[in-house]
Amino acid sequence: MSNNTPHNHAHEDEFDLSIDATIDLGLDGETLNDSTGSTASPLVLRSGEEPTRDRIVVLGRTRAGKTIYLSRLYEQCWHGNGPLHMETSSGKTHLALLNAVAEMSEKRRWPAATEESTYLDFQITWQGHSFTMVSLDYPGEVFRKAFVQQIEDANTAELIDHVQRAAGIVLLIDPKVLASGTIGDAADDDYGMVQALRFIRGLPGGETVPIGLLLTKIDVNADLIRHHGGLRGFAVKYCNNLLRIVPTLTLFGTCAVRSRRDALGKDIPDLTKPARGLENPIVFCLRHIIANKNKARQATTQRAQQEFIQREIKEDEKAQTQDTRFWLWANMVLFAGLAAVGVLTWLVVRQFL
């Protein structure tokens, strides 16, 4: 994109950043353990057992774009005919999500900052698989409190509990905050996200949870990302600490709602143009969740088979021992019988001698 594009906005088809790119820095497991082991997560594990993983969790600091991403994703998947379909089980949630999009489209108003945490639960259908996705639209401040300041209160406990149950994670980051935000703002996406990832990876079974990094607002950040060589180049420069925790981090870019300047120079939502890259991170999580489930099922079947074989071997051994004992006793009885007959015969014969 040329540098003289007004207000740094990308033209509709100029950015092709929704393509995911897996990053592998070539760090082996040991290096990773070394780098993560020395600084144990201050977040306390709520239990030592593997948690029930039933949700995809969307994590992001304040103004990362969580509300807009979730509502536009839902609107597209509800109305669209694409491979991913979403339906909420609550009419109230359905209306809230569609109203948020309608307000942007009709009133050209961005949604207000989220004030309190709201659970959004969806039934997702994809390639014949059904999956329940529970997401939490929470005020970004709660993220900072939980993972940067590590304050324990009802809100942070709820967020941490939510994260513990994640079967897949989508981290939302506004690239501009990392590249040119204040130290405090960038700390949410850098230090805060590192703590969140370390916490997730440290949970029992947490090493297999798929984690996607979604760079948001690509319509206004396309130049910045291109300047650093695309999604991969940007992540290597600004997300190296996240990559240390998750060396194979899959990257995505999205533009949920484009913005444009109105006559007064104010940024307003523009829904006349299509969204980009909304579904990719969800499909990525679903693919891994299904693969993880299949692996777990295979492991269970294998374990059951091994247990069955072990049981059979034990029963065989038991039956063999019983057989051996029987023949031992039978032989002893036979010998005793023969001996008794011999003695009797000898006694009888001796009478006649």
Ligand X SMILES: Nc1nc2c(ncn2[C@@H]2O[C@H](COP(=O)(O)OP(=O)(O)OP(=O)(O)O)[C@@H](O)[C@H]2O)c(=O)[nH]1
Q: Which residues bind ligand X (CB under 6 A)?
A: 60, 62-68, 110-111, 113-114, 139-140, 216-217, 219-220, 255-259
Complex with Mg ion: residue 114 or 250, whichever CB lies closer: 114
- 3-class DSSP state of 251: strand
- Out of Mg ion, ligand X, none, what residue 219 binds, judged by CB under 5 to 8 A for its kind, is ligand X
Does 250 contact Mg ion by CB under 5 A?
A: no
- C-alpha 260/C-alpha 256 separation (Å) is 13
For the CB of residue 205, give the shortest distance to ligand X in the complex, in Å: 28
Query: How many residues make up the chain in this entry?
Result: 353
Complex with ligand X: residue 113 or 338, whichever CB lies closer: 113
Spatial CB neighbours of 277, under 8 Å, sequence gap ≥ 6: 17, 18, 214, 218, 252, 253, 254, 255
Does 114 contact Mg ion by CB under 5 A?
A: yes
208 with 292: CB under 8 angstroms?
Answer: yes
The angle at the Cα of 143, spanning 140 to 147, to the nearest 5 degrees, equals: 160
Question: What type of residue sits at position 245?
Answer: I
For the CB of residue 170, give the shortest distance to ligand X in the complex, in Å: 12
Does 67 contact Mg ion by CB under 5 A?
A: yes
- Out of Mg ion, ligand X, none, what residue 53 binds, judged by CB under 5 to 8 A for its kind, is none
Complex with ligand X: residue 255 or 285, whichever CB lies closer: 255
* Cβ neighbours of 247 (radius 10 Å): 17
Question: What type of residue sits at position 228?
Answer: H
- Out of Mg ion, ligand X, none, what residue 220 binds, judged by CB under 5 to 8 A for its kind, is ligand X
Complex with ligand X: residue 62 or 280, whichever CB lies closer: 62
Instruction: State the number of binding residues for Mg ion (CB under 5 A).
Output: 2
Place of tokens 């005020």: 139
Residue ranges that bind Mg ion, judged by CB under 5 A:
67, 114
